[in-house]
């Protein structure tokens, strides 16, 4: 029965991703205990307790196991049945009854204010009233008729009514989210609702404008024109690959903060981050090219983020182009009805190259900003959104941010996600040091201990303790979550793979020439956003024939540990816009790890595609790494009554290494070949044995060796194709 239950459970997990923590059959609780054992117990009604739950299925020598192999470890704290009974019937618990009486006595005539967030639990109310949570839960339960326990969320009305019954006058004070989440800051101040009067008391702030649109439609050129600089011509490959932000001071004294987001399909995550911080989206559409896929994607981002759009039809200097068609297409494909065709979306015609129509665009932005009534309290502690983060030489982890609320000062303690620190330096968009960054200011923050996720909220904290505990709290929460997710994922993958292999394990399919090719990569890039972009694309590149797997990804130069990781997992290293130090190249060569280097995203993507298609499939050469003489042959008893033939050897040259190809010579002729399957030095399993030493080895695939034969151990070394231009090792 247990076998079929587990089988069922496994299928259920694979299908739903949900792990039922405990399965109950009449009279039977099945506890899935430590990964190494599976206990099937008949419980007689008493013993539920804290157990480590896990499944270990399909292991040898164990009873009642399902034909799957996955292990999951969960902890579950369960109360005893007796406790359960008490909890369900607290009315009968003398302690609770006494507490209830105490509650009545302590609240009689009291006038109390309860601070509450968006929701409040019985426990929170009780702790503020300094009364027993159980007793309060019972009182509420009696009143509402709902099953209420200490952790239940309660309505303020119910609490007010119940306590007024006890003669207490209670009022709820709704805290601002910023106060309630002191340690968690889940709702930033800039997203809170303020009364119109309070809002009007905050100073106006510059609009944050994100310029979005399809690749090559002229976003960067437009921004150049707006800030009078010339970035586009210096971009590698002529495309924007990083998110950039800068402030423009207009002739009328107003300021606008612009964000440039890359248009290439690969940078969707970066663009999503752009809209998250933005007040207005300027949608650039080239008049000659019209509405394109990333135009629609940008519209979706803006809509999702509820951000108003201004359409800038660019390249109107090109003869024969039709801005009217763009307007109509925007309406047909994206539902954007610009003013010119009777809608309410502002639309301006510009030529970024000829710097025409720019004033109209600025006017449109300022008008939209006015309509949006953009304000922020400069006096509050700062809150910013990180738009990019990287490790910078000499500065450590730096985060490019835009202030959304309040102000940051040098020496402020800050926290973001799991990272925290003290602001050592702040640089403005031109790289100049600044001491204060107010609302809408783009700045580089130096002083965080770790990298911050793009899109993450960076908050100024009261002091070191607050910053630290904020980060630690998140760290442990996220770590646990990640751990569980990883455990689950790994288990599911293993279980699914095993199931699949069991289903498909016919003699023909075992050696099928159509088995899936696997490409594994370690990816390093200059900034986090690039990593996200590459990962997203790679994820989409899996095909029927090829599995593409990312073993590790990270920001910064390629390091020795990346090479170790790649070597141990058979992966190649992809270095995007980051350094590969010469000692690392040597290390990679030594370990036979290939490093591929790129500076433009589409080169990387095209290259991976070529790899998928097997274009650069390296040819291989065989290199002899050592020879050994067989001095003696003996047999070992294996399980199932089989005997294994072992060659007792002396290594005469180089080394003998496990898992390497081996050729067997007799009287100068090759008589067979196989793989070094098991290698022992005395009784120890070893990976290699060097010249002059004795060893025992088994050869898989060939057993006709005998005393006096010579073994040649070879390494198969890939030789790269000449046209493989991104390969540096
Ligand atoms: N004729 C004409 N060409 C323009 C105009 N604006 C931009 N271009 C050209 O269009 C090409 C692409 O311009 P970019 O500004 O790099 O385009 P982008 O949208 O920023 O591209 P990504 O950074 O890759 O997303 C360049 O060759 C520009 O010179 C314009 O108003 N008229």
Q: Which two tokens stand for residue 208?
A: 């944050």
CA–CA dist 545, 547 (Å, integer): 7
Residue 324 backbone phi and psi in degrees, to 5: -65, -40
Q: Pick the atom of ligand 1 nearest to 238's CA.
A: 16
Q: Give the per-residue pLDDT at 618.
A: 58
Q: What is the pLDDT of residue 141?
A: 78
Contact 630, 665 (CB under 8 A): no
**261 touches ligand 1 (CB under 6 Å):** no
Give SS3 for 265. helix
pLDDT at 298: 81
Q: Is 309 in the pocket of ligand 1 (CB under 6 A)?
A: no
pLDDT the model gives residue 314: 97
Residue 657: C-alpha distances to residues 282, 614, 671, 689 (Å): 62, 29, 20, 7
**β-bridge pairing 643-657 and 23-25:** unpaired
Cα(368)–Cα(374) distance, integer angstroms:
10
Contact 38, 65 (CB under 8 A): yes
The two beta strands, 383-392 and 457-461, are antiparallel
Element (H, E) at 572: strand 572-576
Point out the residues of the chain with pLDDT beneath 50: 1-88, 176-186, 230-231, 233-241, 243, 264-267, 476-514
Q: Which of 222, 230, 232, 260 to mutate to test the pocket of ligand 1 (most atoms within 8 A of CB)?
A: 232
In 221-300 the beta strands, taken as DSSP E runs, fall at 244-249, 255-260, 280-286
Dist CA 229 CA 582 (whole Å)? 35
For 622, residues 6+ apart whose C-beta sits below 8 A from its C-beta are 661, 714, 715, 716, 717
Contact present, 188 and 459 (Cβ < 8 Å): yes
- Ligand 1 centre from 218 Cα, in Å? 3
What is the position in ligand 1's atom list of the atom closest to the CA of 261? 25
The reported pLDDT for the residue numbered 705 is: 92
The candidate with the shortest Cα–Cα distance to 258, out of 280, 276, 241, 283, is: 280
Asked whether the beta carbons of 174 and 193 are under 8 A apart, the reply is no
242: Cβ below 6 Å to ligand 1? no
Q: 153: part of which helix (H) or strand (E)?
A: strand 153-154
Q: Which residue's CA is minimally distant from atom 30 of ligand 1?
A: 315
Residue 180 CA to residue 176 CA, distance in Å, equals 7
Residues near 481 by Cβ (< 8 Å), separated by ≥ 6? none
**CA 718 to CA 319: how far, in whole Å?**
54
**DSSP H or E segment with residue 688:** strand 688-690
Backbone angles phi, psi at 416, to 5 degrees: -155, 125
Quick check: 528 and 451 in contact, CB under 8 A? Answer: yes
* Residues 6 or more apart whose Cβ sits within 8 Å of residue 511: none
CA distance 577 to 266: 15
Kindly state if the Cβ of 295 falls inside 6 Å of ligand 1: no
Pocket flag, ligand 1, residue 317 (CB < 6 Å): yes
Is 668 in a helix, a strand, or coil?
coil
Tell me if 444 sits within 8 A of 375, measured CB to CB.
Answer: no
Q: Residue 15 and residue 6: Cα distance in Å, rounded? A: 14
Tell the residue nearest (CA) to atom 25 of ligand 1.
263
Contact between residue 217 and residue 286 where contact means Cβ atoms under 8 Å apart: yes
Residue 347, CB-side half-sphere exposure with 13 Å CA sphere: 23
Contact 440, 208 (CB under 8 A): yes
Determine the distance separating the centroid of ligand 1 and the alpha carbon of 281, expressed in angstroms: 18
Please spell the DSSP secondary structure of 671-686, one letter per residue.
EEEEEEEEEEETTEE-
559 lines ligand 1 (CB under 6 A): no
| 353 Cβ inside 6 Å of ligand 1 | yes
Pocket test for ligand 1, best of 236, 316, 352 (most atoms within 8 A of CB): 352
Task: State the number of CA atoms in the 13 A half-sphere of 220 facing the CB.
Answer: 20
- Per the rule left: phi > 0, alpha: psi between -120 and 50, beta: everything else, 350 is beta
Cα of 331 from ligand 1 centre, angstroms: 23
With helix as H, strand as E and coil as C, how does 195-224 read? CHHHHHHCCECCCEEEEEECCCCCHHHHHH
Instruction: Report d(CA 458, CA 443) in Å as an integer.
Output: 12
Ligand 1 near 357 CB (within 6 A): no
Residue in the block written with tokens 């394109």 = 292
What crossing angle do the helices spanning 293-304 and 323-334 adopt, rounded to 10°? 60
Is the C-beta atom of 314 inside 6 A of ligand 1?
Answer: yes
Ligand 1, atom nearest to 356 Cα: 31
Q: Are 439 and 403 in contact (CB under 8 A)?
A: yes
């Amino acid at each position: 029965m247990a076998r079929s239950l587990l089988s069922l459970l496994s299928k259920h997990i694979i299908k739903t991703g949900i792990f039922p923590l405990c399965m109950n059959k009449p009279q039977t609780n099945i506890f899935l205990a430590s990964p190494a054992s599976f206990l099937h117990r008949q419980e007689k009604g008493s013993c539920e307790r804290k157990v480590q739950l896990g499944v270990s299925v399909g292991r040898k020598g164990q009873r009642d196991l399902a034909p799957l192999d996955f292990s999951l470890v969960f902890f579950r704290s369960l109360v005893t049945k007796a406790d359960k009974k008490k909890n369900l019937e607290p009315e009968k618990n003398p302690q609770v009854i006494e507490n209830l009486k105490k509650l009545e006595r302590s609240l009689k005539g009291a006038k109390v204010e309860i601070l509450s967030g968006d929701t409040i639990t019985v426990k929170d109310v009780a702790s503020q009233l300094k009364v027993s949570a159980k007793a309060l839960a019972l009182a509420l339960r009696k009143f509402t008729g709902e099953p209420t326990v200490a952790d239940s969320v309660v309505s303020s009305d119910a609490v007010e009514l119940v306590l007024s019954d006890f003669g207490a006058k209670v009022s709820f004070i709704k805290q601002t989210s910023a106060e309630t989440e002191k340690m968690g800051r889940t709702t930033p101040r800039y997203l809170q609702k303020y009364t119109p009067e309070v809002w009007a008391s905050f100073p106006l702030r510059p609009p944050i404008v994100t310029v979005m649109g399809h690749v090559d439609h002229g976003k960067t050129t437009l921004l150049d024109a707006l800030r009078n600089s010339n970035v586009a011509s210096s971009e590698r490959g002529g495309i924007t690959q990083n998110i950039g932000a800068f402030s423009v001071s207009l002739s009328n004294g107003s300021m606008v903060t612009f964000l440039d987001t890359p248009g290439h399909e690969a940078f969707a995550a970066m663009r999503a981050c752009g809209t998250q911080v933005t007040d207005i989206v300027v949608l650039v559409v080239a008049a000659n090219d019209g509405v394109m896929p990333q135009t629609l994607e940008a519209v979706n981002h803006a809509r999702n983020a509820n951000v108003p759009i201004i359409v800038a039809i660019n390249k109107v200097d090109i003869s024969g182009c039709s801005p009217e068609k763009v307007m109509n297409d925007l309406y047909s494909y994206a539902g954007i009805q610009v003013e010119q065709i009777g809608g309410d979306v502002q639309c301006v015609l510009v030529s970024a190259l000829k710097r025409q129509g720019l004033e109209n665009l600025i006017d449109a932005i300022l008008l939209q900003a006015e309509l949006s009534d953009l304000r922020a309290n400069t006096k509050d502690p700062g809150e910013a959104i990180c738009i990019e983060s990287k490790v910078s030489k000499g500065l450590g982890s730096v985060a490019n941010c835009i202030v959304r609320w309040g102000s940051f000062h040098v020496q402020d303690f800050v926290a973001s996600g799991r990272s925290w620190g003290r602001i050592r330096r702040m640089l403005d968009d031109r790289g100049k040091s600044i001491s204060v960054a107010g609302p809408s200011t783009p700045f580089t923050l130096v002083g965080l201990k770790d990298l911050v996720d793009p899109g993450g909220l960076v908050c100024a904290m009261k002091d070191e303790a607050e910053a630290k505990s904020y980060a630690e709290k998140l760290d442990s929460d996220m770590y646990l979550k990640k751990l569980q997710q990883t455990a689950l994922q790994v288990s599911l993958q293993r279980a699914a793979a095993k199931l699949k292999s069991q289903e498909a394990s016919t003699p023909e399919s075992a050696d099928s020439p159509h088995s899936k090719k696997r490409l594994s990569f370690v990816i390093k890039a200059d900034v986090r956003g690039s990593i996200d972009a590459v990962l997203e694309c790679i994820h989409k590149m899996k095909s029927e024939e090829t599995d593409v797997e990312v073993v590790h990804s990270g920001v910064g130069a390629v390091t020795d540990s990346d090479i170790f990781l790649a070597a141990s997992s058979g992966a190649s290293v992809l270095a995007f816009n980051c350094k590969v130090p010469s000692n690392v190249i040597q290390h990679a060569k030594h370990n036979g790890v290939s490093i591929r280097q790129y500076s433009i995203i589409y080169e990387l993507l095209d290259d991976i595609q070529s790899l998928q298609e097997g274009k650069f499939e390296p040819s291989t050469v065989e290199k002899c790494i050592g020879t050994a003489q067989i001095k003696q042959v003996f047999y070992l008893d294996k399980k199932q009554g089989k005997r294994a033939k072992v060659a007792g050897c002396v290594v005469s040259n180089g080394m003998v290494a496990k898992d390497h190809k081996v050729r067997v010579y007799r009287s100068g002729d090759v008589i067979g070949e196989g793989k070094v399957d098991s290698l022992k030095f005395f009784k120890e399993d070893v990976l290699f044995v060097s010249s002059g030493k004795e060893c025992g080895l088994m050869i898989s695939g060939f057993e006709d060796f005998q005393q006096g034969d010579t073994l040649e151990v070879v390494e198969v070394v890939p030789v790269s194709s000449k046209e493989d231009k991104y390969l540096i090792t």
